[in-house]
Amino acid sequence: MAAKHAQQKPSARLYCAGCVVLPPAFYDRDTLRVARDLLGTLLVRQSREGLTSGRIVEVEAYLHENDPACHAARGCTRSNRAMFGPPGRAYVYPIHSRYCLNAVTRERGTASAVLIRAVEPLDGIELMRRRRQRQTQRQLTLRELVRGPARLCEAFAVDRRLDHWDLTRGQRLWIGREATAGWRDEEIGQSGRIGVTAAADLPLRFFVISSPYVSGSRRSRPA
DNA sequence: CTGAGGATAGTCT
DNA sequence: GACTATCCTCAGA
Q: What is the CATH number of the domain that holds A69?
A: 3.10.300.10
**Phi, psi for A181 (deg, rounded to 5):** -70, 150
CA A23 / C1′ C9 distance in Å: 42
**Domain membership of residue A178 as a residue range:** 16-212
Spacing of A201 CA from C5 C1' in Å: 14
Residue A4 lies in a domain: no
Q: How many domains does chain A have?
A: 1
For the segment A171-184, what is each residue's pLDDT rounded down to a tens digit?
999 999 998 888 99
Whether the CB-CB separation of A171 and A79 falls below 8 Å is answered with no
Positions 149-168 of A with beta carbon below 7 A from strand C are 149-152
pLDDT tens-digit map of A79-112: 999 999 999 999 999 999 999 999 999 877 789 9
Residue A5 lies in a domain: no
Best CA proximity match to A205, nearest among A180, A184, A182, A222: A222
Q: Which nucleotide is nearest to A95 (CA to C1')?
A: C4
pLDDT tens-place string over residues A21-68: 999 999 999 999 999 999 999 999 999 999 999 999 999 999 987 899
Tell me, yes or no, whether A218 lies in a domain: no
